[in-house]
Amino acid sequence: MSLKPAQKLMVANRSEIACRIFQAAYEMGISTVAIYAPGDEGARHVTMADEVASVESYLDAQAIVEVAKRLKVTMIHPGYGFLSERSHFAKLVEEAGIQFLGPKAETMDAMGGKIAAKEIAERIGVPTVPWAKLDLSKTSDAELKKASDRVGYPLLIKAHAGGGGKGMRRVDRFEELKPQAEIAAREALNAFGDGTLFFEHLVEDPRHIEVQVFGDGTGKGIHLFERECSLQRRHQKVWEEAPAPHLLESTRKGLYESALKLVAETKYRSAGTIEYLVNSKGDFFFIEMNTRLQVEHPVTEAVSGVDLVHEQIRLALTPGQYTLPVLSHPHGHAIEVRVYAEDPSQGFIPCTGTVNHLIWASGPGIRLDRGIEVGQVMGTSFDSMCAKLIVSAPTRDMAVKRMQYALRETVISGIGTNLEYLTTIAQHPRVIEGKVNTHFLDSTDFPGDGGEFSPMPSAAEFEMFSLVEELGISEARSSSGGVAPSDTTAKLWQGLREIIGEVTE
Amino acid sequence: MKFQAKLSGKKHEWTEASAETRNEWSLEKRPGGWIVATNTRTNERMRFFYARAKQQFWAKIHGQDFFGERLPVNRAGSANESASDFTAQFPGKVRKILVSDGQSVEENAPLLMIEAMKMEFAIKASNAGTVKKVLVTEGQQLTPGQKLLDFEDAKK
C-alpha cells in the first residue's frame, strides 16, 4: 500500500478514543491533530498529539472544520458521541475536501432515525419488534385476533397518542386481550382524546446483542461477529464481550445475515454496528444502527484480529483498491469494562478530583485504552469515563478470570471510581455463567443500586490503613491541583520509589 | 487521636492499629505504590494500596476498592465535620425539593433531587438533624459551590 504524502489526521473528540486513534495514525505514518475544549487543557489526548488546537466546544462543527482547514488536515475521525453521528458534520468535512472516517452523510440520515431505520429493515426482511396500530371501535374480533397474533404474545398495549409508559398494559393471552384493550382504549380516549391503540411485542428477558460490520461503501461488506452488551446500568453499557455466550447457532447465523443485508442495502461505508434484542428463545429483533465506531469496539478487535481504525484509514486512503478483511471465526473470547469516575454507593454520582496515583494491570491478554494521567483533574464538564480495560483469552472462563485479575491489579486514587462495582460484576455467579439480560444490573438480583452497594473495610483492614498512617507513608504525592509539570512528576515518582523497610514499633 | 471513616455516605468507626497488629506486621512501600505487609510471626504476606490526600483516602485491599473520608473525632464523640454544609458540587438543576423549612430528618433521608449530566441524584442528610432553611427552588440552575440548604445536626 502506498500512502499519499503528508496525511494528517484530526480526531474531533477527546480522551481515550482520541488516544486510541492517534496510536493507529502513528502506526500508519500519519501525523495527528488534537482539539480541546475549555476545561480539557490537561487531558491526555492533548499531550499525545503532534499538533493541537482549541475549540469552544466539541460540538462546534463549523469551528472544528475551520481549524482542520487551517492546519491542512486530510482526514477527520469523529470518535463516538459528540459529532460522530451528525450528518451535517460529515457533510461539512467532506465539503472542505477532508476525508471523513465514517459513513456517508446520507447513510447517517437514512439510518439515524429509529423509525426510518426500522422501515428500511422491514423492507429488506430484517425482523424488527412487531407492532400494530388499531382503532378498537372499527376492528372486528377476527381482525383483533389476526393483529395480535402477528404481534405475538406477550404484548404491550399502549395509547398511540400517549408517551412514556402511561396506560401501558401487558397481555399474555388472547382471552385477556379484548377486555384489556377496551379499558386501554377508554383511558386513551379520556387522557388524549384519541382511543387509537398501539400493540407492541414485548421482548422478554431481552439480551442486547450487536453485530460489528464494516462496509467498503459500494455495497460490499463484512461482519466481524457479535458482541453481547446486556450488562447495562440504566441503558448505559458497563461490561461488553465478544462473542455472545450461550447463543443458538441459528440465531447467530440470522444476526450475521441480516446485518450484512443492511450493509448492502445502505451501501455502508466504514465501521458500524447493528443492534438487536434477542429473547430467551433466540428470536432476534433489529432495534437500531450505530453509524460510528463504538466504545466497545476493542472486544471485536481482540477476537477478530482486525484493527478497525486501521481499516477506516486504509479505506479512506485507497478507496478504489481497498479489500475487506477475510474472517472465518472469532478467536477466543474478549471482555471490556468501562471505568468511570463515579460513586456507585451514592447513585453513581460523578466524582471529581485530581488523579494522584495510577497502577494499571498489564500482562498477557490485557489491553488498556485510557484517557487519564496522574495529575489530571477530573471535572464534570465531560463524560466521566476514564478508561476501558479489555481482556482476551482462549476461552470465556479464562477471560472472566483474567478480568478479575486485571481489576485486582488496577488502582486509581485521587478520584472515586466504579472499580469495586466492576469487580462485583466480574465475580457474580450469573456473570461468570454468562446468563444475563438487559434488566440484570438494575434488578434486585444484583447489589448495584439503591444504596445497597456500600462496601466497608473490615476492622482488620482499617488496622492496616492505620499502620500506614502511623508510618507516615500515606500521603498521596501529587500536586493538589492542576496539571503536574514534568519535573514535578519526576520528583513525584522518585518520592514513590523510596522504600520503607522493616519498620516496627 | 481517634478517627471515623465515611464511606458510601455512611459513617463507620476507624479502627486504630492494636498493639498486637503493630508488633506483628511489618510494612514496606514498594516501588509503584503497593504496600506489602508481612506478618513477622506467621510470614503471611499481604499486598494492598492505601493513599490519603487531606481527609480523603483511597484503598484497595483483598481485591476490594474503597474510597471515602477519614475524619478526626473530637472528644464529644462526633466527627468534626460540617454536616450543615450542603453545597452544589457540580453544575445542575434542582429537580425536586423533598423537605420543608424546619423539618426534622433521619440520617440518609433524601432532601433534594438534583439533575446533572442527564442523571438524577438525591442529596441526602449526612446526619440526623433539622432543615433550617431550603435556599433553592425547584427548577433552579445550580453553580458549583452554591449553598443548597441550612442544616443543623441533631444533638448527640
Residues A2-15 have a mean pLDDT of 84
Are the beta carbons of A464 and B46 separated by less than 8 Å?
yes
Instruction: Please classify residue B118 by burial: count the beta carbons closer than 10 Å to its beta carbon, then call 0-12 exposed, 13-18 middle and 19+ buried.
Output: exposed
Do residues A162 and A133 lie in contact, with contact meaning Cβ atoms separated by under 8 Å? Answer: no
Mean pLDDT of the A337-342 span? 96
pLDDT at position A246 over 80: yes
pLDDT band at A163 (very low <50, low <70, confident <90, very high): low
Q: B21: helix, coil or strand?
A: helix
Pairing of strands A155-159, A99-100: unpaired
C-alpha distance from A81 to closest chain B C-alpha (Å): 14
| Closest alpha carbon to A361 in A324, A387, A325, A342 | A387
Q: Using CB atoms within 10 A of its CB, is residue A245 exposed (0-12), middle (13-18) or buried (19+)? A: middle
Nearest 5°: the CA angle A38, A39, A44 is: 110
Q: Which residues of A belong to the active site?
A: 292
- Closest-approach residue (CA) in chain B for A424: B64
- Best mutation target among A357, A362, A380, A411 (most B Cβ atoms within 10 Å) is A411
Whole-number pLDDT of residue A340: 96
CA distances from A369 to A17, A244, A302, A419 (A): 8, 22, 13, 15
Average pLDDT over residues A283-310: 97
Helices (H), A28-95: 44-48, 61-70, 87-95
| pLDDT on residue A490 | 32
Average pLDDT over residues A473-485: 52
Band (B141; pLDDT cuts 50, 70, 90) = confident
Mean pLDDT of chain A: 90
Q: Which residues of A424-444 are buried (b: 16+ CB within 10 A; e: fewer)?
A: bbbebeebeebebbbebbeee
Say what the pLDDT of residue B37 is. Answer: 96
Assign A124 a pLDDT band (cuts: 50, 70, 90): very high
In this predicted structure, the answer to whether residue A482 has a pLDDT above a threshold of 60 is no
A155-159 and A197-201 beta bridge pairing: antiparallel
Closest Cβ opposite residue A500 in set B15, B28, B117: B28
For A68, A153, A179, A202, A344, the CA distances from A197, given in Å and listed in that order, are 50, 16, 13, 15, 39
Q: Decide if B28 and A411 are in contact by the 8 Å CB cutoff.
A: no
Cross-chain Cβ contact A423/B65 below 8 Å: yes
Q: Average pLDDT of chain B? A: 85
Query: What pLDDT is attached to residue A45?
Result: 97
Query: Residue for cell digits 462496601?
Result: A455
Are residues A461 and B61, on separate chains, in Cβ contact within 8 Å? yes
Taking CB atoms and an 8 Å cut-off, how many pairs form between chains A and B? 181
Owner of C-alpha cell 440552575: B141
Residue B61 has pLDDT above 80, yes or no: yes
- Residues on chain B touching A460 (C-beta within 8 angstroms): 15, 21
Q: Contact A411/B116, CB-based, under 8 Å?
A: no
Q: How far is A468 from chain B (nearest CA, A)?
A: 7
pLDDT for A337 equals 98
Range ranked top by mean pLDDT from A491-495, B19-23, B73-77: B19-23
pLDDT in tens, A61-90: 999 999 999 999 999 999 999 999 999 999
Q: Is A105 helix (H, G, I), strand (E, B) or coil?
A: helix
In chain A, whose CA is at the least distance from the CA of B92? A380
Q: Please report the pLDDT score of residue A37 as a whole number.
A: 97
End-to-end CA distance of chain A: 67
Q: Is the pLDDT reported for residue B84 higher than 70? A: no
CB B25, CB A469: distance < 8 Å: no
Q: Comparing C-alpha atoms, which of A491, A346, A476 is closest to residue A411?
A: A476
Give dist(CA B43, CA B37) in Å, integer: 10
Residue A478's pLDDT is what? 44
ipTM score of the complex? 0.85
Give the DSSP H or E segment for A491: helix A486-497
Judge contact between A114 and A349, C-beta under 8 A.
Answer: no
Residue B76 has pLDDT above 60, yes or no: no
Question: Measured between beta carbons, which residues in chain B are less than 8 angstroms from residue A480?
Answer: 53
Instruction: Work out the pLDDT band at A488, boundaries 50, 70, 90.
Output: very low
Closest Cα to residue A6, out of A31, A33, A34?
A31
- Rounded to an integer, what distance in angstroms lies between the CA atom of residue A79 and that of residue A308? 12
Inter-chain CB proximity A451 and B59 less than 8 Å: no
Say if residue A484's pLDDT is above 70. no
For the cut 60, the answer to whether the pLDDT of residue B75 exceeds it is no
Is there a contact between B52 and A359 if contact means CB atoms under 8 Å apart?
A: no
Considering only CA atoms, which of B121, B65, B128, B132 is closest in space to residue B95?
Answer: B121
Mutate to test the interface with B, among A337, A348, A403, A467 (most CBs of B within 10 A): A467
pLDDT value, residue B106: 87
pLDDT at position A351 over 60: yes
Residues near A364 by Cβ (< 8 Å), separated by ≥ 6?
A: none
Say what the pLDDT of residue A194 is.
86
Model pLDDT, residue A79: 98
Q: What is the pLDDT of residues A267-276, one digit of tens each?
A: 999 999 999 9
Residue B132 C-alpha, separation from nearest chain A C-alpha, in angstroms: 24
- Whether B58 sits inside 8 A of A413 (CB atoms) is yes
Please check the confidence at residue B18 and state whether its pLDDT lies above 60: yes
pLDDT at A59 over 90: yes
pTM: 0.84
- Which residues in B lie closer than 8 A to residue A467 (C-beta atoms)? 17, 21-22, 25, 27, 37
Instruction: Tell me if residue A364 falls in helix, strand or coil.
Output: coil
Q: What is the pLDDT of residue A502?
A: 28
Q: What per-residue confidence (pLDDT) applies to A487?
A: 34
Minimum Cα–Cα distance from A359: chain B residue: B32
Residue A307, C-alpha cell as written in the block: 484493527
Contact between B53 and A414 using a beta-carbon 8 Å cutoff: yes
**For chain A, what percent of residues have pLDDT higher than 90?**
75
Half-sphere exposure of B104 (CA within 13 A, CB side): 2
The pLDDT, as a whole number, for residue A449 is 55
**A497 contacts on B by Cβ (under 8 Å):** 31
B2 to chain A nearest CA, in Å?
A: 11
The pLDDT confidence band at residue A5, using thresholds 50, 70 and 90, is: low
Q: What is the mean pLDDT of residues A116-122?
A: 91
Q: How far is A395 from chain B (nearest CA, A)?
A: 23
Nearest 5 degrees, angle CA A306-CA A309-CA A314?
90
Compute the average pLDDT of residues B98-114. Answer: 87
Mutate one of A418, A465, A466, A470 to test the B interface: name it (highest B CB count within 10 A): A465
With 90 as the cut, is the pLDDT of residue A169 above it?
A: no
Average pLDDT (A29-39) is 97
Backbone angles phi, psi at A35, to 5 degrees: -115, 155
* % of chain B exceeding 90 in pLDDT: 42
Q: Which has the closest alpha carbon to A263: A129, A130, A127, A120?
A: A120
